[in-house]
Amino acid sequence: MFDHHTPAAANTGARLAAPFDVTFTDVRGGVELRYVSGEQVVRRLNEVLGVSGWSFRILRHDIHGEADEAWALGELVAEIDGRTVVRQQFGSQKLKRSRSTGAPLDIGFDLKGAATDAMKKCASLLGVGLYLSRKESKDVRPVLSGAKRLSGANGGPPMR
């Protein structure tokens, strides 16, 4: 992620990746997810890189009718220890609809949510909040060199 050969680079990477004091929790599909807000991510980028040390823009956006969601492809450009770093990532948000008519309530708001999601995901590629995405599984075990490959319950690959 960063060239940690210089103390400044290691410090910048550590400051970007530092855990947040406050996180939020949401349950989706029966899975509990921890996350931070878009405001927290912007604040972290401003504090570590400076207000003029990064920028974000939407490259493309659309509404996916079948999935009933807005999506956006975002690009984050950052100056980190004298180098320009560019990261791109997609974000999405389910469309909010009227309960009575089923019509979308505010497409602009849904696109803004998708853009914020894209920005947060781009920032995670620089380490911001990345620890919140860590996958933990009791079924995955390290395979030692020369050992047989672990398989899942049905003889397939281990679940990840």
For the segment 146-151, the average pLDDT, to the nearest whole number, is: 43
State how far the Cα of 122 lies from the Cα of 127, in Å rounded to an integer: 9
Helix or strand run (H / E) with residue 3: none
Hey, what CATH topology would domain 7-133 get? Answer: Enolase-like; domain 1 (3.30.390)
How far apart CA 9 and CA 89 sit, in angstroms, is 23
Distance CA 145, CA 20 (A): 37
Reference 75, options 92, 93, 63, 91; nearest CA is 91
pLDDT digits (tens, 9 = 90+) for 125-144: 999 999 998 766 555 445 54
The yes-or-no verdict on residue 58 having pLDDT over 70 is yes
What distances in angstroms separate CA 42 from CA 2, 6, 48, one per listed residue?
20, 25, 10
Q: How confident is the model at residue 18 (pLDDT cuts 50, 70, 90)?
A: very high
| Structural domain boundaries in the chain | 7-133
Instruction: Kindly report the pTM of this predicted structure.
Output: 0.78
At residue 59, does pLDDT exceed 50? Answer: yes
The proportion of the chain whose per-residue pLDDT surpasses 70, expressed as a percent, equals: 78
Identify the three-state secondary structure at position 15.
Answer: helix
Q: Is pLDDT above 60 for 12?
A: yes
